[in-house]
Amino acid sequence: MGHVNQPVLKVILKALKEENSYTRKCAVQALGELATPEVVEPLIKALEDKEPEIRGLAADALGKNPATVMPLIHLLEDAYIGVAVKAAQALGKMEDKQAVEALMHYQQHGHPVLQKVIYGVSHLSTDFELSCRS
């Protein structure tokens, strides 16, 4: 993981707090491109944004980091199915026992659209694929 230019990071973090949703969306996308530990907490906070698109983008970005499994699992309950779908896709990329268990649960008991997405992403994780077959 690389180092982030601190002045640039400060600008992005400030943009993340703006009222304008497009500005926040761009900030989340920028944070998602930075593969450093410094962006994890701001992205987790973006999971609580009032805009579903921003929550979905944050979930997608966090899917690259196994340390963010629990916040993503909570998003499987999001009122906006698109956000839950992004969380399921991100969790499907992780080889984490908690992620697998949550996906298995929601594949059985989740929203029908979410069930289909989970079925589709199940091939991304060997552990999940094997669990689904047993």
User: Which tokens in the block code for residue 13?
Assistant: 């973090």
Mind spelling out the 3-state secondary structure of 96-110? CHHHHHHHHHHHHHC
End-to-end CA distance of the chain: 37
pLDDT for 123: 60
- Give DSSP secondary structure letters for 25-58: HHHHHHHHH--SGGGHHHHHHHTT-SSHHHHHHH
Rounded to two decimals, the pTM is 0.70
pLDDT tens-place string over residues 65-123: 777 899 999 999 999 989 999 899 888 888 788 988 998 898 888 888 888 888 887 66
Domain positions in the chain are 6-133
The 8-class DSSP code of residue 132 comes to H
Tell me which CATH code domain 6-133 carries: 1.25.10.10
pLDDT for 73: 93
pLDDT tens-place string over residues 26-66: 999 999 888 678 888 999 999 999 999 999 999 888 887 77
User: Which tokens in the block code for residue 43?
Assistant: 């992205």
pLDDT for 113: 86
